[in-house]
């Protein structure tokens, strides 16, 4: 295979462009993998995106992909493309640690459903990515592995709990990563790191082989640097799985079908009260969303303000359900091995022990009420935009700032409703840190969300900016 010109930086290839180069034999999968391995080895000691890099597995996958492509055995748009997995997702033969001492020797016997799909598609597995402990306790400095850091400024928080997935994607260590989202854990690192993060409709992607946090709120999602890449990834991993009790038996695919279409006549609702009244967002966040709404209107959409239940009701409902279900998952270990948890995970999980059964039941009833009322909004709009984080990334070494800003978000409502929600960059703060918003749709409307996001992405240049690494 012929190499690309030296002027082409393999670190910033999109999945879509890399796929075309690989398919037409203008790029070698082995060359591609080696370039990203070298970049990660050079820079990741400063960012900790990888909990366990797997260069030998990556090269074996790349060599296999190269041989297949040379024989004309093209598997599709992920053949030979590197990816990583949040380390609560099983990869057979490797430990799934959940970034915790509790599971540091937990070797997966089989692949998770999402892993199976990416391997079948010919992906090149680069390694397991950092997470907050059990997707709830972090960023923590008292665990067997250090926390991931923000590639735009390593002294700052990169979001979580899919922290390594956000860092690795933004840093150019890989073009796509898998994360999970129970209260915003794909969209938070996407927001903080300036990449695209999708929490699909509840049940659209199987959670089989993924360490649970809260069964009724958990989602598997995708992080990429462009909207098209995100849609391509969702095409690969979505689908019904009878072995996942929460899986939705719904038709999937076609998530790239509407990309490139204009958005003239589409109705966009702005949930402004989430970040202007229920919580007061940092002005840079609010101004970024206002500018995005203006840009969508300039592209032909009809934009108007709408309202739903106060953000605090959604947050309380999510917190009650999440902590109750999380404690149920961890009760045995919490009784037998509490000292083996990091302090943050232990504190956050313990709170679930004090939620009364009546409170949990009432929260599930409130959830239905909130969900029905929210879904009713789509009688008058096609998509909704609102804030993701209320603040740019804070310093990672300031625990009070991390705790304060972590709770200041409007992502949890869409775990309650199960709605698809996409985090999209809206610019940068005066300090050079990413800003973001969410685009939300009714259940199973991912293709429409991607259409709107892609139109906005093409009308801005945020995805063309990359961090300079140390």
Instruction: Give the percent of the chain with pLDDT over 90.
Output: 98
What is the residue-wise DSSP string for 349-380?
HHGGGG--HHHHHHHHHHHHHHHHHHHHGGGT
Q: Is the pLDDT of residue 307 over 50?
A: yes
**Mean pLDDT across the stretch 83-91?**
98
For residue 7, what pLDDT is reported? 35
SS (H, E, C) 40-67: HHHHHHHCCCEEEECHHHHHHHHHHHHH
Q: Is the pLDDT of residue 293 over 50?
A: yes
Q: Is the pLDDT of residue 350 over 80?
A: yes
pLDDT tens digits, one per residue of 396-435: 999 999 999 999 999 999 999 999 999 999 999 999 999 9
> Exposed, middle or buried, 265 (CB in 10 Å: 0-12/13-18/19+)?
exposed
**Mean pLDDT across the stretch 169-175?**
98
Give me the chain's average pLDDT, please.
97
- In DSSP terms, 394 is beta-bridged to none
Instruction: Tell which CATH classification among 3.40.640.10, 3.90.1300.10, 3.30.70.260, 3.40.1390.20 matches the domain 11-464.
Output: 3.90.1300.10
How are the residues of the chain apportioned to helix, strand and coil, as percentages rounded to the nearest 5?
A: 40, 15, 45
pLDDT tens digits, one per residue of 24-43: 999 999 999 999 999 999 99
What is the Cα–Cα distance from 23 to 69, expressed in whole angstroms?
7
**Mean pLDDT across the stretch 293-302?**
98
CA angle 19, 23, 25 (to 5 degrees): 115
**Which 8-state DSSP code applies to residue 276?**
I
What is the Cα–Cα distance from 50 to 149, expressed in whole angstroms?
11
Q: Where are the domains of the chain?
A: 11-464
Active site residues: 86, 161, 185
- H or E segment at 349? helix 343-350
How many residues are present in the chain? 470
Q: Is the pLDDT of residue 8 over 80?
A: no
Radius of gyration of the chain (CA): 21
Q: How much is the pTM?
A: 0.97
Sequence-distant (6+) residues with CB within 8 A of 419 are 201, 374, 375, 440, 441, 442, 443
- H or E segment at 440? strand 434-440
For residue 114, what pLDDT is reported? 98
What is the Cα–Cα distance from 194 to 424, expressed in whole angstroms?
8
What is the residue-wise DSSP string for 131-142?
-SBTTTB-S-SS
E strands, 47-163, where? Answer: 50-53, 82-86, 124-129
Backbone angles phi, psi at 205, to 5 degrees: -115, 130
For residue 2, what pLDDT is reported? 43
Sequence-distant (6+) residues with CB within 8 A of 430 are 284
Task: Work out the angle between the directed axes of helices 113-120 and 227-237 (0-180°, nearest 10).
Answer: 110
pLDDT band at 4 (very low <50, low <70, confident <90, very high): low
**Mean pLDDT across the stretch 57-65?**
98
Measured CA to CA in angstroms, residue 9 lies from 52, 164, 418, 470 at distances of 24, 22, 38, 17
What is the Cα–Cα distance from 34 to 248, expressed in whole angstroms?
38
**Mean pLDDT across the stretch 90-98?**
98
**Mean pLDDT across the stretch 374-394?**
98
Nearest to 210 by CA among 172, 184, 247: 247
What is the Cα–Cα distance from 254 to 266, expressed in whole angstroms?
19
Question: For residues 82 and 124, is the Cβ–Cβ distance under 8 A?
Answer: yes
pLDDT band at 137 (very low <50, low <70, confident <90, very high): very high
For residue 3, what pLDDT is reported? 47
**Which 8-state DSSP code applies to residue 274?**
I
What is the Cα–Cα distance from 16 to 108, expressed in whole angstroms?
31
For residue 5, what pLDDT is reported? 43
Instruction: Give the percent of the chain with pLDDT over 70.
Output: 98
pLDDT tens digits, one per residue of 108-124: 999 999 999 999 999 99
pLDDT tens digits, one per residue of 176-197: 999 999 999 999 999 999 999 9
What is the Cα–Cα distance from 176 to 54, expressed in whole angstroms?
16
């Amino acid at each position: 295979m012929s190499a690309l010109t030296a002027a082409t930086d393999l670190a910033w290839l999109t999945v879509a462009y890399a796929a075309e180069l690989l398919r037409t034999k203008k790029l070698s999968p082995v060359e591609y993998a080696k370039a990203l391995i070298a970049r990660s080895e050079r820079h990741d000691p400063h960012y900790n995106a990888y909990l366990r890099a797997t260069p030998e597995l990556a090269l074996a996958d790349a060599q296999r992909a190269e041989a297949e492509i040379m024989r004309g055995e093209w598997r599709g748009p992920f053949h030979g493309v590197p990816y990583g997995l949040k380390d609560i997702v099983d990869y057979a033969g490797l430990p799934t640690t959940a970034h915790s001492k509790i599971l540091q020797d937990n070797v997966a016997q089989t692949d998770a459903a999402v892993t199976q799909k990416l391997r079948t598609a010919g992906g090149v597995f680069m390694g397991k990515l950092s997470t907050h402990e059990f997707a709830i306790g972090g960023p923590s400095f008292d665990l067997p592995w250090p926390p991931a850091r923000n590639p735009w400024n390593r002294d700052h928080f990169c979001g979580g709990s899919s922290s390594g997935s956000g860092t690795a994607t933004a840093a150019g260590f890989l073009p796509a990563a898998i994360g999970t989202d129970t209260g915003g854990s794909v969209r938070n690192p996407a927001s903080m790191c300036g990449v695209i993060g999708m929490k699909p409709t509840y049940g659209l992607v199987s959670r089989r082989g993924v360490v649970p946090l809260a069964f009724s709120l958990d989602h598997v999602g995708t992080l990429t640097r462009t909207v098209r890449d995100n849609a391509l990834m969702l095409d690969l991993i979505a689908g019904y799985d009878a072995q996942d009790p929460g899986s939705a038996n719904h038709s999937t695919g076609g998530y790239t079908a509407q990309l490139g279409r204009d958005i003239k006549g589409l109705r966009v609702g702005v949930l402004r009260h989430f970040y202007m009244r229920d919580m007061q967002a940092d002005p840079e966040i609010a101004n970024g969303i206002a500018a995005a709404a203006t840009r969508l209107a300039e592209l032909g959409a009809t934009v108007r303000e709408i309202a739903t239940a106060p953000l605090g009701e959604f947050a309380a409902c999510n917190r009650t359900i999440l902590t109750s279900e999380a404690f149920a998952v961890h009760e045995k270990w919490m009784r037998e091995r509490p000292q083996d948890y990091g302090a943050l995970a232990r504190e956050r999980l313990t709170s679930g022990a004090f939620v009364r059964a009546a409170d949990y039941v009432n929260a599930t009833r409130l959830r239905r009420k909130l969900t029905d009322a929210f879904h009713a909004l789509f009688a008058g709009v096609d998509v909704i935009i609102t804030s993701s984080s209320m603040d740019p990334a804070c310093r990672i070494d300031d625990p009070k700032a991390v705790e304060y800003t972590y709770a200041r978000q409007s992502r949890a409502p869409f775990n309650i409703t199960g709605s698809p929600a996409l985090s999209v960059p809206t610019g940068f703060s005066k300090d050079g840190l990413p800003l973001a918003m969410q685009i939300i749709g009714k259940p199973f409307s991912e293709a429409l969300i991607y259409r709107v996001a892609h139109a906005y992405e093409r009308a801005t240049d945020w995805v063309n900016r990359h961090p300079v690494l140390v």
